[in-house]
Copies of this chain bind each other. A is one copy, B any other.
């Protein structure tokens, strides 16, 4: 009678899988609508996430699992849209530092805002403890995936 209340681990993985698949399609749709690639969005998110920590072109290649040649194109597109800027690294003139433009967050919100509102609504229905469980899982699952990726080189 209460079977649904205690999902098994495979149940959880299945539900997660379907969610991830939908999110991937969603990202592709966001990217398409902005005339960017999914890789562009992944890189942009990483630059925003890094905040003041300097990010190099090579860091983006590592993170996004693409070649540095691909990153050249990514940066050209993101720079062309005014999302990021290339900055020479004074300490190592081979390097290209990538910094977010001041209006970047605002522009990202124009794109993602409506979707984030729906998510915020969803998250709002959870108790602080439940929210902590979710946030913790996001972090751990991200770490698991990242570790798995790094190992498979």
Inter-chain contact A12/B131, CB cutoff 8 Å: yes
List CB contacts (< 8 Å) of A21-43 with chain B: 21-29, 33, 38, 41-42
Asked whether, in the complex, the Cβ of B145 is within 8 Å of the Cβ of A28, the reply is no
- Chain B residues closer than 8 Å to A11, beta-carbon distance: 135
> Please, which residues of chain B bring their CB within 8 A of the CB of A7?
131-132, 135
Q: How far is the CA of A22 from the CA of B63 in the complex (A)?
A: 8
Q: Number of copies of this chain in the oligomer? A: 2
> How far, in Å, is A106 (CB) from chain B's closest CB?
15
B-facing residues in A125-147 (Cβ within 8 Å)? 126, 128, 130-135, 137-142, 144-147
Q: Are B18's CB and A142's CB within 8 A?
A: yes
A2 to B139, alpha carbons, bound, how many Å? 17
What string of 1s and 0s marks CB contacts (under 8 Å) between A91-123 and chain B? 000000000000000000000001110111011
* Distance of A148 from chain B, by nearest CB (Å): 6
The answer to whether A9 has its CB under 8 Å from any CB of chain B is yes
Question: In the complex where A29-B152, A119-B13 touch, is A142 in contact with B6 (Cβ < 8 A)?
Answer: no
By a beta-carbon cutoff of 8 Å, the part of chain A in contact with chain B is 5-7, 9-29, 33, 38, 41-42, 45-46, 49, 63-65, 114-116, 118-120, 122-124, 126, 128, 130-135, 137-142, 144-149, 152
